[in-house]
């Protein structure tokens, strides 16, 4: 068994034939949906951009909740500490 056959997993001619068949089927499906390779790449880019933005929006909301709670908790903590300090 040659190194190329081991690398490809089959004989080079069979691998080329399989790749041609799969490429034809994928091209047929993409044409049926009116997709181009650029459409697919842009969709992948949008997916990662949306995931990135979603992650940071969640962080911003989380920090907003902390600040909102801190507006009540910190003054209450200070008042309670002052009240206990006098005793």
pLDDT in tens, the chain (87 residues): 788 888 888 899 999 999 999 999 999 999 999 989 999 899 999 988 988 888 788 888 888 889 998 999 899 888 888 888 776
Q: Are residues 46 and 85 in the same domain?
A: yes
Both 15 and 27 in one domain: the answer is yes
CA distance 28 to 21: 11
pTM for the model: 0.52
For residue 51, the model assigns a pLDDT of 81
Burial status of residue 30 (CB atoms within 10 A of its CB: 0-12, 13-18, 19 or more): middle
Same domain? For 62 and 86 the reply is yes
What local confidence, expressed as pLDDT, does residue 42 receive? 94
Q: Based on the domain organization, do 76 and 52 belong to the same domain?
A: yes
Q: Could you tell me the residue range of the domain that residue 70 belongs to?
A: 36-87
Can you give the pLDDT at residue 32? Answer: 94
Residues 40 and 55 in one domain: yes
**Is there a single domain that holds both residue 28 and residue 41?**
no
Q: Could you give the number of structural domains in the chain?
A: 2
State the pLDDT at residue 87. 63
């Amino acid at each position: 068994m040659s190194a190329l056959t081991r690398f490809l997993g089959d004989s080079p001619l069979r691998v080329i034939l399989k790749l041609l068949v799969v490429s034809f089927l994928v091209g047929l499906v993409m044409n049926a949906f009116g997709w181009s390779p650029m459409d697919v790449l842009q969709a992948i880019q949008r997916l990662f951009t949306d995931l990135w933005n979603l992650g940071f929006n969640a962080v911003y909301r989380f920090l907003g909740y902390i600040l909102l709670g801190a507006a009540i908790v910190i003054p209450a903590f200070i008042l309670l500490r002052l009240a206990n300090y006098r005793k």
